[in-house]
Structure 1
């Protein structure tokens, strides 16, 4: 089987820590042909470190020598780059979130359909062992119809002090669009991606504007902090299901909390740690697995799914239509915060 030639656009931390190691682990199916970064020195350093032959300052030149690209740039450039690559007939893996806005994400989806190429979005929590196990049990009917999702993605005083995470122009937001989006996507997927009907949300950033910051992930400019560091939301779906959602970079809590809990008509599932909760045979049963199949690093099965989808051997686990839905809810949460009113999503195209 001929190897898929991959190029990376953006040579920063996520490319080096997750995607390049995953691609190297799958070297029987793929080769890293090139890397591109607006800082050519960064591209050269990464190429030398990982023995990547091609180095480009302009990603458009790189598109001539690859079959697919992995987009690891700030959020502002996701849509522009993905559409350019798809228009040149390249498959695209794009880091989360899909884009800065629903409108931009919609253009990406249309470009993928027109090009008839794969467009995958980097919501890697779907590929965790716990998520895969939960999806299997939910689809097998072990909890009945899902009714309520409770999602908490809370870090204690861990605003990312590096890169551009707190730059609103480049990222579009903070804790929700960077961190919480993973768990929003995961919970939507476990619910079966029902169509949202109404979103009520509140975004905070007063904590990170205070002087004398205690922050475990480096310093940042508290005086010019413009993005959200804490977000809450309540989401109603057209099928009657609901979601209670909270995410934070900087919560004043005892310790970090990462939980996704799905309650159904006949049982429930908690992730991180994984527990199946049921009421059967006159008993309340909590079942914890002795062993779960899958990789400890979700980046490997995520990239394997993308590569095999490009080769026509699998279907993408994260479909662009579903990632578009995540972006639509993020937009609605921010809009609800600004208007101080709930946002009604009446049409399918609104999500």
Structure 2
């Protein structure tokens, strides 16, 4: 098998701790040939740390010298679109961090370019690779849930406004808690319904805590420079009457420091995803069935492997370009409904 050549764009923590280690574990399929970052010194240091030959501070030289087959984009949200489009113009497959972009039109254009060029464009929604998600899909396939008609999806932090990076900068990120956290559980909820487009979207966003400042559990933030939402709530209704209730927060006056979960309601059974519990009937009696022996998966490794499978035309459950475009349109509609 010919090794695929991979380049990393963005030399921050997500590249260092997630993408590079996963790619290196898949060394029989892919070789990392370059890292490109804004700061050559930092890019060179990260490349040296991981034994990667080349480091650049501009993509033009990276493409000219290294001619990668695929690119992994680990940069702020506003750079996803131009960097993905440039990569596809160089005939590279693209594995992009979430969210797809900062606008629905950008995400749609990215999907169109991938289709035109016959390239794989995929997004890094790793929760698809959990053992709990795999079990849910088996329960659906086996008919244990019947018809899924409502999903409650939430990713909440009590005081989890990041005190670093660009997470509170709307120009760079396009939004706050919805863009950073909510998209993870929204992706799963849409997957559970077959990734439909809603016909009705209601939503509200809030910034009370972010604007006021206070105790931070992920570092302190500057409330004067906080211009995204600290919480977003939405209700999505679909043509077949299925529905999703979505909640996401960086900061919310709630009990748990972190609450990430899905509850799936079907005509025959229901599921709470983390920890996995099946709510059903057995022998005519109500039953809650738990699965204590589920293995903890390396979800980044599995998602990277799924992306490589997609690049080679193999079956894959990685988030596709078309799904990313649908998700981004829904996110935009939530923001529009809240304005």
* TM-score band, normalised by shorter chain: over 0.9
Match of 1:180 among 162, 179, 182: 182
For each residue in 1:118-153, what CA deviation from the matched residue of structure 2 results, as whole angstroms up to 9, or x when unmatched? 101111111111112112211221101101000121
For each residue in 1:136-187, what CA deviation from the matched residue of structure 2 results, as whole angstroms up to 9, or x when unmatched? 2112211011010001211110101111111100100000001111001111
Alignment of 1:144-293 (within 5 A): 144-211=146-213, 213-255=214-256, 256-292=258-294
For each residue in 1:88-113, what CA deviation from the matched residue of structure 2 results, as whole angstroms up to 9, or x when unmatched? 11100010001101100011001101
Match of 1:98 among 84, 97, 100: 100
Could you tell me which runs of 5 or more consecutive residues in structure 1 were left unpaired when the two chains were aligned. Answer: 339-351
8 Å CA contact retained: 1:4, 1:29:
yes
- 2:124 matched residue in structure 1: 122
In the TM superposition, what is the alpha-carbon distance from 1:336 to its structure 2 partner? 0.5
Whole-angstrom CA distance in 1 between matches of 2:291 and 2:167 = 36
- 2:19 matched residue in structure 1: 19
Whole-angstrom CA distance in 2 between matches of 1:109 and 1:189 = 18
TM-score by length of 2: 0.96
- 1:348 matched residue in structure 2: none
Alignment of 1:307-322 (within 5 A): 307-322=308-323
In the TM superposition, what is the alpha-carbon distance from 1:316 to its structure 2 partner? 4.9
Whole-angstrom CA distance in 2 between matches of 1:164 and 1:195 = 30
Whole-angstrom CA distance in 1 between matches of 2:336 and 2:80 = 21
Whole-angstrom CA distance in 1 between matches of 2:197 and 2:224 = 39
8 Å CA contact retained: 1:69, 1:91:
yes
SS of equivalent residue, structure 1 residue 196: coil
Could you tell me which runs of 5 or more consecutive residues in structure 2 were left unpaired when the two chains were aligned. Answer: none
Whole-angstrom CA distance in 2 between matches of 1:332 and 1:273 = 31
TM-score by length of 1: 0.93
In the TM superposition, what is the alpha-carbon distance from 1:279 to its structure 2 partner? 2.3
In the TM superposition, what is the alpha-carbon distance from 1:242 to its structure 2 partner? 0.7
Task: State the number of aligned residues.
Answer: 336
- 1:337 matched residue in structure 2: 338
SS of equivalent residue, structure 2 residue 163: coil
Alignment of 1:78-97 (within 5 A): 78-97=80-99
In the TM superposition, what is the alpha-carbon distance from 1:224 to its structure 2 partner? 2.3
Whole-angstrom CA distance in 1 between matches of 2:155 and 2:313 = 35
Please give the root-mean-square deviation of Cα atoms over the aligned residues, in Å: 1.2
- 1:135 matched residue in structure 2: 137
- 1:109 matched residue in structure 2: 111
- 2:299 matched residue in structure 1: 298
In the TM superposition, what is the alpha-carbon distance from 1:60 to its structure 2 partner? 2.7
1:38 matched to 2:74: no
